[in-house]
Every structure is written in structure tokens, then in C-alpha cells.
Amino acid sequence: MSGYVFIGDDFTGASDTLATLAEAGIAARLCLERPGLACLPQTPRGRGAFPAVGIATDFRACAPSEVAPRLRALTSLVRAGQPRFVHYKVCSTFDSAPHVGSIGAAVAVLEEELSPALTVILGGQPSLRRFCLFGTLFAAGPDGAVHRIDRHPVMSRHPVTPMGEADLRRHLAAQGLRDIALLARPDLPDAAASLAAMADGTGRRVLVDAVDDTDIEMLGLALSLLETHGRPLLLVGASGVAEAVAGRAGGGAGGEAGGGALAAPAVRAGPRLALAGSRSAATAAQVAAATRYACLPLGPDDLEGTGREDCAARCAGMLARGANVLAHLRPDADYGIAPDALSERLAELAARIAALQPPAGLAVAGGDTSGAVVRRLGFDSLSFEGRAGSGVAVCRGHAPGTPLDGLRLLLKGGQVGPLDLFDRFAA
């Protein structure tokens, strides 16, 4: 298997961790939940011999009762590989709630199934301007100013999981994850000794502060030195966890850097398709700034029945004539269905377009939409190619034996990416 296994609770977040590891020189592959790790290709050192592998899920949008059995099915595969690090990748803003996307409920299942030597929760990711000090989470807002997360202009008003508590230990305790110790920033120089004292195999948990890159480096060093007596370390947090482990990654991730890399397919020439399922202000601004596309606002009638067939044919016709196409939801429209159902309808539209006229590349905005589209198009795994901005990965989709195998994919969450993101992808 691999020394580092990460389970992403949404698709774009998992692809960001894939990017973080790959940029550190660690060969990594991101698999879909189904078929899971069984999809890993043959490498020179045998099947699945990637130093790091990930599994992308949609757990952030699910109730704990749905997550638990699916997570247990995944951990049976993970446990068999005996990885040193198991990373449960969550959003850098920790937005979650007891009833949906519960980080606490997921971590409790992982602890039960994996019996880790220690559960380490990394509170900050300074590279994304997410800071944790004395257990309190802060994040930069759209205006560039840093806000406590419960006063953040976006995250405190999140439509599904608004953040009403900035103390991460209290936030996670409300999700059932209690008795979390704190490794505060002033104590980080002694992190190795502190973590060693806690790693006694009794299921202890610790939240670790992070305010700058030095904090991430100190945690990485401490993790690399930690003796676990064959038990895994359960790491919880955003891609800052991968930054910490990869920073010590001569062999920290359990393998030779770059050892599992496969030859990348050639870049395809031709028009690009972009699909914006996020209705955030950031994505709306990126759509408005796109100049290299024929832009098509989508109404409710474009997403079902004959209306969807007509819309797909219209988009495919523009692609066939050499035009880039950007189809997007309207921020002010009422589509009359739940967000997950809306993502699935967008995925079905993407599949109909691709069946009529496969694009040379595909960009998707929105975490839930990205996951739905990648699953619907039949990709079983992704490999990293490059970045199109902070938190935005450009990947290759792997679907052996299909016309879409090797398709270039840009996947982004609703709030991230530069203003000219779509035009960069078209260029």
C-alpha cells in the first residue's frame, strides 16, 4: 500500500492534498471512493506502490449515519496496508455540524477501526491564511482581513454549516469528540517530546496550533520522530497536514519520492468545457471575468428532461465549432431542489455533453459538483499535473478504455482561485 493514506471529505479538498504531496516530490494518486484503492495502476514496484494514496468522498455533505458504514468499508482497505499516517482531510475552516459533515463522528469511527497511537488535529494552514492560536481558529476573508471564524463574513453565515464557535475543541466536542488536549504555539518547539508523551495507544487526542510555516515544519519533524510501535497516526486537518508530513518526506510518507509516477498523457488540443455549480460570490466573479468562453447561464429547465437534452446539444455544437463553453448556475435562480440533487443534475448534463462532443479539457467549480461530475464521467482516479492558483489543482482523470482517459481536469471549490481562473484554463 502506502505510508500515507488520506481520505478527503470532499472532492476539491482531496485534490488539493494530492497537489500538495505531488509538489513535494511524492508520487501520489487520488482514487474515487468506488472502486477505491483497487483502482491503483501497476507501477514498477507492484500494484499500488505509491508513497501516498487518497480516497475522495462526499462525506462533508452527509449525515453521520451515512458516513459511518461507508467509512468502515474504506478503513478495512486502509488497515490492510498498514500505513504510518492516515489523514482525514477536512476543510481548512473546519465547517461542519453534528447533523451534517460531522468531523467528530468521522474521527470517532476512524479511531474505533484503526486504533491509532495518537490522533493529531492540526488547527491551522498558514499557506491558506488559516491560523490557529491557543485552539482558536482565524481565517482571512474576501476583503483580505483576518477574522475569528465565528465572526468571519462568509463562514459564520455558511448556508449549511455556519461556524458559530471559534474554539476548535469546543466545536469538535459538540460533534462528540471530547477530551482533546492542546499543544499551544509557545510549546511547539517541544512538540516531539509532548507528542511522544501522549502516544501511549490509549486513544488520546491533541489539537496543534499553527500560525506560520515554522509551526508546520516543527510539527512535521515531531511526527517523523514519533515512535508508534506499528500503530498508525491519525491526522485530522486540511492540506497543512500533508505540508507537515511532506516537509520531512525523504521517507516520511513511507516511500521513495516520485517512485510511483506514471508517464503523463499528451495535452489535448481543442476547446474546453467549464461547468460552474458553485453560486458563491467568488465563482460568480470568475464567471463574469471569463472572456475566452461562450457563456451559458443555466435555468431550471436546462437541467432535466428535454430541456437538458437541448442544452447538451447546444453546448456540444459550440464545442464542435471550436468554441470554449462555460455553463453556469445563476446565483439568483431558484432551482427548486436540494444542493446534492442539483450537483447530480449538473453532472448528468456534463456527461451528455461529453458523450456528444468530448472536450479537450474540463473545469468544474464547486466541491460537490466536482465530485458528482468526476464520478458520473467514469474516472476511477486522478493524478496531479499542476496548479491554477492557491487551492486549485489541475489533474488528469484516469478512465482506462474510454475516450475521456487522460482528460485534463481543473477542480475548484467555490471560494478559491484567481479572478481570471477560467481564462487561464482556456489558454
**Average pLDDT for runs of 10 along the chain of length 427:** 84 88 89 66 51 89 94 87 93 94 97 95 95 97 92 89 96 96 96 91 88 96 92 95 79 42 56 90 89 93 92 96 94 84 92 94 89 89 84 85 90 83 89
Q: Is 53 exposed, middle or buried (0-12, 13-18, 19+ CB in 10 A)?
A: buried
What distance in Å separates the CA atoms of residue 349 and residue 326, rounded to the nearest whole number?
13
Q: What is the DSSP string of 130-182?
A: EEEETTEEEEE-TTS-EEEGGG-TTGGG-SSS-----BHHHHHHTTT---EEE
Q: Are 51 and 91 in contact (CB under 8 A)?
A: no
Q: For residues 353 and 371, what is the distance between their CA atoms, to the nearest angstrom?
A: 17
Report whether 173 contacts 165 (CB < 8 A).
no
Regarding whether 294 and 398 lie in a shared domain, the answer is: yes
- What would the 3-class secondary structure string for 31-60 be? EECCCHHHHCCCCCCCCCCCCEEEEECCHH
Closest CA to 237 of 385, 141, 128: 128
Compute the distance between CA of residue 352 and CA of residue 71 in angstroms, rounded to an integer: 31
Q: Does residue 237 sit within a domain? A: yes
Preceding peptide of 186 cis, ω within 30°: no
466573479: which residue's cell? 285
* Helices vs. strands in the chain: H and E counts, helices first: 12, 18
Are 227 and 288 in a shared domain? no
Alpha-carbon span 229 to 201, nearest angstrom:
9
Same structural domain, 202 and 277: no
Q: Are 67 and 59 in contact (CB under 8 A)?
A: yes
Listed residue (9, 43, 3, 1) closest to 383, CA to CA: 43
Backbone angles phi, psi at 86, to 5 degrees: -120, 120
Sign for the pseudo-dihedral over CA of 8, 13, 14, 17: negative
Domain assignment present for residue 254? The answer is: no
Per the structure, how many domains does the chain have?
2
Q: Are residues 283 and 391 in the same domain?
A: yes
Which domain-ending residue is among 230, 247, 264?
A: 247
Whose CA is closest to 110, among 198, 15, 235, 220?
235
Within a domain: residue 62?
yes
CA pair distance 274, 286, nearest whole angstrom: 11
For residues 277 and 241, membership in a common domain is answered with: no
265 inside domain: no
Residues 38 and 186 both lie in one domain: yes
Same domain? 298 vs 213: no
- Pair (178, 242) in one structural domain: yes
Is residue 263 situated within a structural domain? no
Last residue of a domain, one of 179, 212, 247: 247
Residue 253 forms part of a structural domain: no
Q: Identify whether the C-beta of residue 139 lies closer than 8 Å to the C-beta of residue 152.
A: yes
Q: Does residue 262 lie in a domain region?
A: no
Q: Report the chain's C-alpha Rg in angstroms.
A: 21
* 43 and 127 assigned to the same domain: yes
CB atoms within 10 A of CB 189: 13
How far is CA 338 from each of CA 163, 192, 281, 368, rounded to the nearest angstrom? 21, 46, 20, 12
Per-residue DSSP letter, 236: E
CATH number at residue 104: 3.40.50.10840
Do residues 399 and 405 lie in contact, with contact meaning Cβ atoms separated by under 8 Å? yes
Do 222 and 137 belong to one domain? yes
CATH of the domain at 300: 3.40.980.20
Domain boundary among 212, 247, 282: 247
**Residue 297 belongs to domain spanning:** 272-426
Same domain (yes/no): 284, 412: yes
Q: Cα 114 vs. chain centroid, distance in angstroms?
A: 22
Task: Give the position of cell 463553453.
Answer: 325
Q: Output DSSP code: residue 92.
A: T
